[in-house]
Amino acid sequence: MINDNWSRFYTPKNVAKEILSLLPKEFVPAVAVDICAGSGNFLNVADEKWNNINLIAIDVDLKNLDISSERLKSLKCSALNVNALENLIKPYRESQKILLANPPFGKYLSDTENLSNIKGFLDLKSEAEKFKRIELLILIANISILNKDDYFAAVIPENFFSSFHLHTFKELFLSHFDNIIISKTFQSFYKSEVKTRYFIGKFRGDTKSYKNEIKEVKKIRLNNIQLYRGIDNSKLLCKESCTLGDEYKEALHFSNSEGIIRKKKFVKNNKNLDRLKVEENDLLILRVGRKSGSVFSFKESYKDKYISDYFYILKNFNLSTNQIINLEKKLKKNTIGLVTNYLTKDLIVSVLRSVVKVRA
């Protein structure tokens, strides 16, 4: 169903402790449920925090589950097997619960299994089906077994919060909760660059449609902004390995914030690509990588060179030094991506318009 590599990111115990420490002191649940239990760290921390709490662990593979409590009930099955979830949770259906989640993330390969059996949440399910993301389906499965005033506490991938395309799903999901806490972006997993956030919320207890309350993200009009992505890197040539004639021009190709060119790249002249040549008053924006969001002003050494796919070029756009500094700061803060940082065209334009007023 999912990429096996993603399924190995178990919740570190210190992360579980920090998340549960943020819950209201007066909240004392009768049962803790984790439908992607993994090694069981979330449930073990819940067992330490609340005496005599009942524990429910569900996972497609229970071999790494390490919980010694006699109050544990476990089931080997998919988190999307709604009928199995309902049967296991049935004795505690009216009890106050804490749902704990660190869902696997990535594209899923099969259909939605029994997710269609969930009552309500039609807008959420409709949005989730557009993206084929396993974490979205598991978030819906989690809230389907919540009662009013139950809490949901989770580690959720950063792109859930920052992705332009997931905006409507995110807003629909958040609309089901009160007392929401969302942490800053951080890296949860040892030796991993995957970025995540904590989420904690008290379930509102209704499943009506909120679609009319959600403002759709409007497509940004680009009439007065000429922003172009660079040449496909696979089309670039190395001078060292090719005999190049005058018909080839250098392409700017670097991914560091200092603008250091470590190896020159070249591309064949093409009038159709002239808009990708650097000219006076142009700005270069590093699109992808650890230093994505870095902004480079025009230099004579850049003039008439093409840009590689590492960049977007903003044509003939005068900004003050302070505006450029502010633009770079905001772009770096708003990069998206789970493993590799990157910026989209729409995101850059949105940030640009927050820095300087541009007529649409």
Residue 148 sits in the same domain as residue 110: yes
**What pLDDT is attached to residue 72?**
94
Residue 19 sits in the same domain as residue 131: yes
Q: Are 91 and 27 in contact (CB under 8 A)?
A: no
Domain boundary among 172, 188, 213: 213
Residue 207 sits in the same domain as residue 268: no
Residue 222 lies in a domain: no
Residue 169 sits in the same domain as residue 251: no
Domains contained in the chain, number: 2
What is the C-alpha separation between 303 and 337, in angstroms, rounded? Answer: 31
Q: 0.85 cut: is pTM over it?
A: no
What is the C-alpha separation between 225 and 43, in angstroms, rounded? Answer: 51
What is the arithmetic mean of pLDDT over 319-336? Answer: 89
Residue 262 sits in the same domain as residue 193: no
Percentage of residues of the chain with pLDDT beyond 70: 84
**What pLDDT is attached to residue 158?**
84
User: Which residue range forms the structural domain that includes residue 298?
Assistant: 227-355
- Pick 318 or 147 by higher pLDDT: 147
Residue 105 sits in the same domain as residue 147: yes
Residue 10 sits in the same domain as residue 61: yes
Answer yes or no: is pLDDT of 274 > 80: yes
Residue 319 sits in the same domain as residue 350: yes
Residue 203 sits in the same domain as residue 249: no
Domain boundary among 213, 244, 260: 213
Domain boundary among 213, 235, 254: 213
pLDDT digits (tens, 9 = 90+) for 143-177: 999 999 999 999 998 888 878 788 889 888 998 99
Residue 219 lies in a domain: no
Answer yes or no: is pLDDT of 291 > 90: yes
What is the arithmetic mean of pLDDT over 41-48? Answer: 95
**What pLDDT is attached to residue 318?**
80
Bin 173: left if φ > 0, else alpha if -120 < ψ < 50, else beta: alpha
Answer yes or no: is pLDDT of 319 > 90: no
Q: How far is CA 127 from CA 106, 137, 170, 349, in A?
A: 16, 10, 10, 25
Residue 307 lies in a domain: yes
**What pLDDT is attached to residue 313?**
96
Residue 154 sits in the same domain as residue 28: yes
Helices and strands, number each (H, E), in the chain: 9, 16
